[in-house]
Amino acid sequence: MTPVHKSELVAAGTAVVAAVVAAGALVDGALRPQSQTFGRTLVAGRDPDEIALTYDDGPNDAATMQLLDVLARHEARATFFMMGRFVRQRPEIARAVLAAGHLVGNHTMTHPWLAWQPEHVIREELRGCNEALEDSLGAPVRYFRPPHGARRPAVLRIARELGLTLVQWNVQGNDWAPIGTQRILGKVERGMRRVKERGRGANILLHDGYDRAMGADRTGTVEATDLLLGRLAGTAHRLVTVAAWG
């Protein structure tokens, strides 16, 4: 057996630690929603009274119009990150969202995990959704949320080249699963308290659509939105779109 000097063991140990730290930074940069590791990422502003309701994976003919009714009743503006393939199927819903005064952003054509895609796929996914939105809305798109929040440096670079600001979130309702109105609301309110304690606005991730298919039941999300907006009425909170933050 070859004797191993202690300093070699220490060096090896340091290298392992460095590799683990580097891997940790990569995972953090790729997957933690608020990470800034791979470039500027919009999360929320520094006014803890500001709240952005954001809805992903639509337009959805089973939920988006009902949600627009709820938002209108509370005079609330929100942000919708839409999938290009659903915009192509229901352009009139995308137009109704914009006409109601909400912000519409890009959520790719087909909802892949962009962090693991080759660059040409990232570009096609972002450009395809931009084109679907711009054809339907007749207005340029400025904001983009990556599916699952997953990205790598190429995703930010390509988004920038297309004039898109990458947006994440800091509160989520876990409403992709059918957990029911009250649990969605509880999760959102806990998250809002947590970011408020840190002196940040709340960027709340909810879903009016479902990435696999048109027509998903999002009754829980629509009802939780109605209850949340009812509770916020008369408080110091202000509803904003993500455009308020950059």
Please give the torsion angle defined by the CA atoms of residues 162, 105, 202 and 23, in that order, rounded to the nearest 10 degrees: -50
72 vs 23, 100, 102, CA distance in Å?
45, 8, 10
Best CA proximity match to 41, nearest among 193, 151, 162, 173: 151
Instruction: From the candidates 102, 107, 111, 207, give the one annotated as an active-site residue.
Output: 207
Rg (CA), the chain: 20
Instruction: From the candidates 56, 208, 211, 226, give the one annotated as an active-site residue.
Output: 56
Residues at the site binding Zn ion, with contacts judged by CB under 5 A: 56-57, 147
Residue nearest to Zn ion (CB): 56
Closer CB to Zn ion, residue 38 or residue 144?
A: 144
Closer CB to Zn ion, residue 168 or residue 241?
A: 168
- Contact criterion met (CB below 8 Å) for 203 and 149: no
- Contact criterion met (CB below 8 Å) for 241 and 91: no
Closer CB to Zn ion, residue 149 or residue 201?
A: 149
Residue found by looking up tokens 């080759």 in the block: 118
Closer CB to Zn ion, residue 29 or residue 147?
A: 147
Please report, as a single letter, which amino acid is at residue 192. Answer: M
Closer CB to Zn ion, residue 50 or residue 57?
A: 57
State in angstroms the smallest separation of the CB of 147 from Zn ion: 5
State in angstroms the smallest separation of the CB of 176 from Zn ion: 8
Burial class of residue 23, CB neighbours in 10 A (0-12, 13-18, 19+): exposed
State in angstroms the smallest separation of the CB of 166 from Zn ion: 14
User: Can you give the three-state secondary structure of 4-33, one letter per residue?
Assistant: CCHHHHHHHHHHHHHHHHHHHHHHHHHHCC
State in angstroms the smallest separation of the CB of 17 from Zn ion: 35
Active site residue 56: yes
- Report the chain's terminal Cα–Cα distance, integer Å: 61
**Distance separating alpha carbons of residues 116 and 238, to the nearest angstrom:** 37
State in angstroms the smallest separation of the CB of 231 from Zn ion: 26
Active site residue 237: no
State in angstroms the smallest separation of the CB of 56 from Zn ion: 4
Closer CB to Zn ion, residue 68 or residue 83?
A: 83
Catalytic (active-site) positions? 56, 207
